[in-house]
Structure 1
Amino acid sequence: MTRRIVRTVCQVAAFAFFSLVVVYFIDNRYRVLPSALHNAFPAHHPGLVVTDITIASCSSLNVFSSCKLDADQWHRVEKDLYLGSGWVNSAYVHIKRKKEEEVLSDDQVIIDITVGRLDPAQGVKGEANEKWESRPNGLWLKRVAKRHAKTSNQMVTSVDVLFGADAVDPREGWQMVGTPLLLDNSGEGQEARLSIRRGKKALHSRPIPRVNENGRFKIMQAADLHLSTGTGLCRDEMPPTPKGEKCEADPRTLEFVGRLLDEEKPDLVILSGDQINGDTAPDAQTAIFKYAELFIKRKIPFATIFGNHDDEGKSSLTRAGQMSLIESLPYSLSVAGPEEIDGVGNYYVEVLARGSSKHSALTLYLLDTHSYSPDEHNFKGYDWIKKNQIEWFKSTAQGLKKEHSGYTGIHMDLAFIHIPLPEYRDDKLPFKGQWREGVTAPAFNTGFRDALVDEGVVMVSCGHDHANEYCALSSHEDGKPALWMCYAGGAGFGGYGGYGGYHRRIRFFEMDMNEARITTYKRIEYGDMEKRIDEQIIVDAGKPSRLQEE
């Protein structure tokens, strides 16, 4: 007995130490604080089996009610099923779990979950040991003794909560439970739904972008999707929705993006900020999963940076929490970036040359432009790229030059940001496309444009100002082309449009590495949908080219 107690104590101590190490690593690598960790990750616990699930509800009008169960037995999924919108009510999913090696053959394990008002077994002939058990809010569990589970992959090992009629779970091995939980809230826009995983957590490798055998590589830049938790409401849609009909923003936005993915078949997608609308996305994970599912199911790599709205709102998930989640998804190239510099999402993506070459043909720099000015008294409006970010960019670019020298073609560097640079305001620059609204660049100029030119970046593209969708040419002092500065144009119906009937659009960059040439154009959601809008060559022989005459 004494040996057993000592062994148990040692096991508990070892597990606790391992847990602390994991949390420390996550906190320091990805800058996710413990309070954000609950929201950043669902109940992912490799090697654990879920043995029971229940829902605990509480009311501010009932002092005896509680949304917390015994923490020694139950793990709470830290998502209020009412998303904080219940005037008096809250509810949380709780799960019991065991290490798989500690589950005895007679222990009950969950093999299926459903939601409904009636017993799913009614009218269905089944085995006596596979009865459905009722839980609160229409939740039904099918539990069997472990020895009756056909395989270990039949057992439920993780449970998560997502929201909205359009919720999806793109993670491998995960499955949405079809019906929303039965809660006494009104409306279906943000209804709570369960997602479950059976078996072990799927491992996936980071994709490696590569130039195609024909020497071409295509990038889709989708800016300002402004997705919500739930289907969302359209703003300034074109054409206007007929009276009496409802325009759902997210389904229309996602259909637009999905159509162009199928038609254009890009090799890489850059999401340049404001993917989600923080104020209307109290559960950021649900919104992130909706856009990620488009790329994951088509096996297209994607890279993200943040805008000023992604983490906006009192209940929004932090940038660090969102990036940790995005990094964990299949086909994601996104990286939080160095901890010691400002922002989350300062990194670069290398696109390798064709064939089996290990040399980079393209380098894409992505930087966090933050949100609102930290000094409203002197510099109103939006934040700016910080000095240490510029130093990181310059040292990184200079360090990569030696590696790029092994590429036999002309290597090219591009950059993507969310908030435009102050130089975008110069209306004397030659440009192609539409300049519909005032440029909301930061008032303080830290000189990032000059750093881009000094390091040989040929093009930078941003989002943020939805109705601006031009490319402007910035020149050297001698008048020679120095840098193309582009806008993608807003793609999402959850963000504003307006400005004379703006049609949502997405920008493409088509690289021909045989000629070191970049052609850019846009595709629109409504109207002449098959036409390439404002197609132009912006880089030729690896150098920014002059504006083409019509």
Structure 2
Amino acid sequence: MLRVVGSVVHRIFKLLRRTFIPLAILLFLFTAVLDIHTQNFYNNRVVHVEKYTGGRISGLKRIRCHSWFGNCNQIVERSEDGTQGTDTITWYKIGRELSLDGSSYLDHQAWSSHDYLYVTYADTEGDAVVDVALGDPRSLEPPQYVVKELTKSKLGKAKSRFDVSGHYDLNGWTQLKDGIWVKYGPFESPEAITDITYLFGEDVIEPRPQWNLVDGSLSFHPHHPIRLSFARGVRRRELPKLRLSKDKMFKVLQLSDLHFTSDFGVCLDQKDAVDECHADAKSLAFIHRVIDEESPDLVVYTGDLIDGSRTFDYQTAFLKALSPVISRSIPFAIAMGEHDTSVFASRDVIVEFLTTLPFSTMHRQTQEQWIGNITNYVIPVMSDIDDSLAVSAIYMLDLFEANSPEPLETILHRLYNSLPNKPSMSLEFQHYPIAEYRPRGAFALVGQYNEKTRLKSSRTDKNTRKVLSDIGVQCMSVGSEHTNECCIRSDAQPDQHLKELWMCFGPSVGEGAYGSTAMDRRVRLFKLDSQNNQITTWKRHRDDPSEVFDYQFIQK
């Protein structure tokens, strides 16, 4: 019996000895392959590492991220050259919700994978990327942008870009994958790129100061060209400070219901229809003309800047809609509309993007701040001679913030009490009209009142009229109803402690929004006259932007 047991044990040990080395090799290979995947899964699913948030970079690359990695903010790969004394390199995802193939990580299905653009941070002791160009991914020839730079450089003409050894002498330019070319320079160079992103579409506009739109596009998406945009230098986000002009005036331009997209946009309900009409470009031409005519001190957007249901990339659409004011360094304010959304990004993400834009009066004070305290705000207009004296207040209300912990009355009183003093002239802007915009009986009216459908009470607060009276607002103005462009007077009611209030509409300026074939697109303006304590309003229209009509006094 003992001999049998001993024989079995001997055979087992012999078998283990023969299989140990192959098993060890297989185990080593298995862990070597999966250790990177395990690290990426842990970083993105468990630790929730940060994505790229700006800074000098040394690399730019398209990487396919698997859905089981989660948000894909960081991807660890094996280094091809073993730089930095390690065999791995960490890539940081450029902060976009949209992947290069046009999907959001929120929509990723199990076992799927999607492409994103990633960067590596530059080492302070090494070189950094100072320029980017896009060329043909199938060719080794540098793109025309690089060739033109070499032509202007000390290297001589473009045809002499080969040195005597027969190699390219590209003056710091290096070809990466997918047609991406980068130029390297010293880390401390003022030309070093400090932020980079990508936008979608054939109608991209990059209005932000210090940002540069790269010529050409990446062809990762079959229907939407991908454009790279990068920034140089230190970008400081300063909150605009509004004050009266030297003649004691302050002018506000109201733009409403642009309904821009990340494409050219389709023209709707044209007064003078043409076969080929790009809605967004046509709208922008009108807006540019009005701004040149009026030189406003503030531009107020009363909702639906973009058409979320028809917009592939919300960032591209917002930048295009805001380009006339950002490019002119004009402060702007936004009252959010129901179409200022995206299927690829949450509302919080969209608002966060808007707060980062230059000349935006919407800002985040703390990271813990409730979003409604960002999108509901007041803008004081200060005296031209005394920075501590507010001569006017402009309130911006967001009617589409769900689950508000505060009623509208509390929000407005808090904003009112935050002012350094109680100004004598105040305006309020929001997207959707309140119930008093449907008055009964006879009422004073200036302008066209074409839409009178029943209002949705769930979108407004029944106490708005009284609260606006309590905090001294003389006029409110809304959008939403595209062909209404009138001002309605709500008379004072002393028995209910209600002061007179003018309730105006800002007509739709967007050619891609519904309208009327009998009416061209229009804009509304307001002027605050501190010296005479007057508020006036008027309109301009696309057929003749030089013409002013329906000029009226709101307060005199």
Q: TM (normalized to structure 1)?
A: 0.75
Judge conservation of contact 2:293–2:546 (CA < 8 Å) in 1: no
Aligned ranges 1:11-410 → 2 under 5 Å: 43-45=52-54, 48-56=55-63, 69-70=75-76, 73-77=90-94, 78=96, 79-84=98-103, 90-99=114-123, 101=124, 103-104=125-126, 108-117=127-136, 118=139, 119-120=141-142, 123-126=158-161, 128=169, 130=171, 132-143=173-184, 146=186, 152-183=189-220, 185-186=222-223, 190-198=224-232, 200-242=233-275, 245=276, 247-311=277-341, 313-315=342-344, 317-335=345-363, 339=369, 342=372, 344-370=374-400, 388-398=407-417, 400=419, 403-404=420-421
Query: Unmatched 5+ residue regions in structure 1?
Result: 1-33, 61-65, 375-384, 541-550
Deviation at 1:443, TM superposition (A): 2.2
Question: Residue 435 of structure 2 contacts residue 462 of structure 2 at CA under 8 Å; is this kept in 1?
Answer: no
Distance 1:386 1:477 in 2: 31
* Aligned-residue offset at 1:59: 11
CA RMSD of aligned residues (A): 3.2
Matched AA of 1:202: R
Report the Cα distance in structure 2 between the residues aligned to 1:156 and 1:399, rounded to whole angstroms: 39
Q: Structure 1 159/505 Cα, relative in aligned 2: closer, same or farther at 3 Å?
A: same
TM superposition shift of 1:202: 1.5
**Kindly tell me: are residues 340 and 110 of structure 1, through their superposed partners in 2, closer, same or farther at Cα, counting changes over 3 Å?**
closer
Amino acid of the structure 1 residue aligned with 2:305: Q
Could you say if the C-alpha distance between residues 330 and 387 of structure 1 is closer, same or farther in structure 2, counting changes exceeding 3 Å?
Answer: closer
Query: Displacement of 1:464 after TM fit?
Result: 0.7
Deviations 1:296-354 (A, max 9, x none): 2212111112000001x422x33332222222222211135894585751110000122
Are the aligned partners of 2:209 and 2:327 in contact in 1 as well (CA < 8 Å)?
A: no
Q: SS state of the match for residue 121, structure 2?
A: strand
The counterpart of 1:506, out of the listed 508, 519, 523, is: 523
SS in 2 for 1:460: strand
2:122–2:128 contact (8 Å) kept in structure 1: no
In the TM superposition, what is the alpha-carbon distance from 1:363 to its structure 2 partner? 0.5
The Cα of 1:293 is off from its aligned counterpart by: 2.7
SS at match of 1:269: strand
Rounded Cα–Cα distance in structure 1 between residues aligned with 2:159 and 2:234: 32
Aligned mates of 1:341, 1:128 — CA distance in 2: 52
C-alpha contact (below 8 Å) 1:320/1:336 kept by paired residues: no
Q: Which amino acid aligns with 1:182?
A: S
Partner Cα separation in structure 2 for residue 344 and residue 440 of structure 1: 30
Q: TM-score when scaled to structure 2?
A: 0.75
* Alignment-mate amino acid for residue 58 of structure 2: T
2:28 — aligned with what? none
- Cα displacement string for residues 199-237 of structure 1 (whole angstroms, at most 9, x for unaligned residues): x33214222111111121110011111111122222222
Q: Is 356-365 or 416-425 further displaced after alignment?
A: 356-365
Q: Percent identity?
A: 28
CA contact (8 A) 2:523 2:541 kept: yes
Tell whether 2:495 aligns with 1:467.
Answer: no
- Partner Cα distance (2:431, 2:471) in 1: 20
Contact 1:363 1:414 in 2 (8 A): yes
Counterpart position of 1:486: 504
**Aligned-pair CA distance for 1:155:** 2.5
Structure 1 residues 134 and 318, CA, compared in 2 at 3 Å: closer, same or farther?
A: same
Tell me the residue number matched to 1:29.
none
> How far does the alpha carbon of each residue in 1:76-118 deviate from its partner, in whole angstroms, 9 at most, with x for none?
2243223239x9995321222234x3x33xxx53232211224
Given that 1:335 and 1:346 are in contact with CA atoms closer than 8 Å, whether structure 2 keeps it comes out as no
Displacement, 1:413?
Answer: 1.5
2:447 is aligned with 1:433:
yes
Aligned pair in 2 of structure 1 residues 67, 442: CA closer, same or farther (>3 Å)? closer
Q: Is the 8 A contact 1:227 1:287 kept in 2?
A: yes
Q: 1 CA distance for matches of 2:435 and 2:418? A: 27
Give the distance between the partners of 1:337 and 1:463, measured in 2 at CA: 28
How many corresponding residue pairs? 458
Matched with 2:3 is none
Contact 2:73–2:93 (Cα < 8 Å) also in 1:
no
Is the alpha carbon distance of 1:396 and 1:114 closer, same or farther for their aligned partners in structure 2, counting shifts above 3 Å?
Answer: closer
Deviation at 1:291, TM superposition (A): 2.9
Q: Distance in 2 between matches of 1:510 and 1:44?
A: 40
The structure with the larger Rg is: 2
Could you tell me whether the CA contact under 8 Å between 2:448 and 2:485 is conserved in 1? yes
Q: 1:208 to 1:440 in 2, by over 3 A?
A: farther
CA distance, structure 1, for counterparts of residue 446 and residue 519 of structure 2? 16
Q: Gaps spanning 5+ residues in structure 2: where?
A: 1-47, 78-88, 148-157, 162-167
Q: Mark the CA change 1:173 to 1:491 in structure 2 (over 3 Å): closer, same or farther.
A: same
Separation of aligned partners in 2, 1:276 and 1:184: 22
